[in-house]
Structure 1
């Protein structure tokens, strides 16, 4: 029986898939995992000294070009996503699956729950990709959300738990302030300790803190922190969600993540 040859994938789509599989952070494949998976299917490692993404892209593109078919890429994904590889790390499987389904949606494909590339509803725009992928992380990536956000609520995002993702992301800002200031305080007391103008210069300042405008901006930023902590952190921390009826919609959660991202970017350039 003749083997079905699947159409070649555009180089940009292959690159997007490789960017996911070979990402430097979790849940990307390690260099040794890539070596093992390429060897399993007899795919030549044509550029072994390159970084993981370029190395994988070169290997799969070379094989696809030689075969004039994308079968080698599909097989690589199937091997990489074999459920048996994730028995003790189901969160990593979910993260890779969701991330792969974004570029695959542009080719009317997806990774199913069995870890295999399968047919799916296609997408032609990034908006459609986000809708089909159906996950919060997609929109966060599109908005360029600060990596500190995901650092503190990755598991909650994977579980699509908006309530807990918002709670953990807000806690993440407080934790960063504690690390910067070496303080053990929390909430408004932490903000007061870091940004108080009573004994200048403040412990943490987001600008030169010289002109009236700079001092006003500094004070406003501190008030913004207090407001976010009071609105999004304290209610979930002190009252069970069901008892308080505390809910948040996805649009509101995304807006909050954008606000927290702004805060982290200002802290990136802050002086301690």
Structure 2
């Protein structure tokens, strides 16, 4: 520890929230916990208590003894590693976003490549909540579709504009899957559901040339949204780019429009 920079202690509240996040069944099993505790040089915990309590005790014991969070951060880094989520990028991004909301209060962020970087510290819960309220108020003022709030609320917390847009994008494509019954993703999903030759969903009667053009345009609009978040070569979600509040509101407005068209979509055949 002497040769490594000592990282700031995490408050009991942050440790508790991180323990709850990592204790999710999709993230860690009881066996996983001790394996990663050992790898991070933290004290293994008996399986007689719940996962969240085992994690919290290991974190708190280390921090009380060493007055730093180094090994706790190492544990988080091992668990939230891109290598564990090669075929589950959405789960990785969701987990990383949840962890980063807590780390933001000490000025740390876990990047998309699994390394830490310093960020501007979020000072108080009330400050973060004020940011949340501001963005929600602006979306309300635009009469945004209710589906946006369903998928974005958690990401508004730290005013993470990319996270908000990314979650809204995922929510839109999930809704298309639910309505159509097609379980693919990306352009494959859009082609299957809205293709010219044999579509599953229609946003209009698709009889006149103008209606056919509108339907085709909607299909291309969805493909454009998909391309914003996908790497065409790797077919993986893009990780992060800087999005201003204004850009976020504009993109969320497009997603809101797509949801409104889906409200009136007709399913004309089964997948």
TM-score range, shorter chain: 0.5 to 0.7
Aligned to 1:165: 171
Q: Secondary structure at the match of 1:13?
A: helix
Q: Judge conservation of contact 1:15–1:57 (CA < 8 Å) in 2.
A: yes
Distance 2:176 2:87 in 1: 29
In structure 1, distance between residues paired with 2:20 and 2:39: 21
Deviation at 1:13, TM superposition (A): 0.7
Structure 2 residue matching 1:126: 3-state secondary structure = helix
Which residue in the other structure is 1:40 paired with? 39
* Distance in structure 2 (CA, Å) of the matches to 1:47 and 1:256: 50
Indicate the residue corresponding to 1:241 in structure 2: 218
Paired residue total: 183
The verdict on how the C-alpha distance between 1:254 and 1:60 changes in structure 2, with shifts beyond 3 A counting, is farther
State whether structure 2 residue 154 is matched by structure 1 residue 141. Answer: yes
The structure having more radius of gyration, on CA atoms, is 1
Q: Distance in 2 between matches of 1:73 and 1:129?
A: 28
- Counterpart CA distance in 2 for 1:255 and 1:47 is 52
Q: How does 1:83-162 map to 2 (within 5 A)?
A: 83-124=82-123, 125-127=127-129, 139-141=152-154, 160=166, 162=168
* Conserved 8 A contact 2:152-2:168: no
Q: Residue 136 of structure 1: CA displacement?
A: 8.0
* CA RMSD, Structure 1 to Structure 2 (Å): 4.3
Q: CA deviation at 1:160?
A: 1.7
**Aligned with 1:118: secondary structure?**
strand
Structure 2 Cα separation of the partners of residues 139 and 50 of structure 1: 33
Aligned to 1:23: 24
2:79 corresponding residue in structure 1: 80
- Asked if the contact 1:9–1:70 (Cα under 8 Å) also holds between the matched residues in 2, the reply is yes
The answer (yes or no) to whether the contact 2:165–2:252 under 8 Å persists in 1 is: no
Q: Closer, same or farther in 2 for the Cα pair 1:11/1:160, shift >3 Å?
A: same
Structure 2 distance, partners of 1:161, 1:239, is 25
Provide closer, same or farther for how the CA distance between residues 75 and 98 of structure 1 changes in structure 2, counting only shifts above 3 A. Answer: same
Q: Which structure 2 segments of 5+ residues have no match? A: 134-147, 157-162, 182-201, 205-214, 226-249, 260-271
- Note the 1:39-78 alignment, pairs <5 A: 39-78=38-77
Change (3 A) 1:5 1:243: closer
C-alpha contact 1:95 1:158 (8 A) present in aligned 2: no
Contact in 2 for aligned 1:5/1:69 (Cα 8 Å)? yes
User: In 2 relative to 1, CA 128–2 (structure 1 residues): closer, same or farther, beyond 3 Å?
Assistant: farther
Contact 1:130 1:138 in 2 (8 A): no
Question: CA 1:89 to 1:62, structure 2 compared with 1: closer, same or farther past 3 Å?
Answer: same
The one of 235, 252, 269 equivalent to 1:250 is 252
CA shift for structure 1 position 44: 1.7
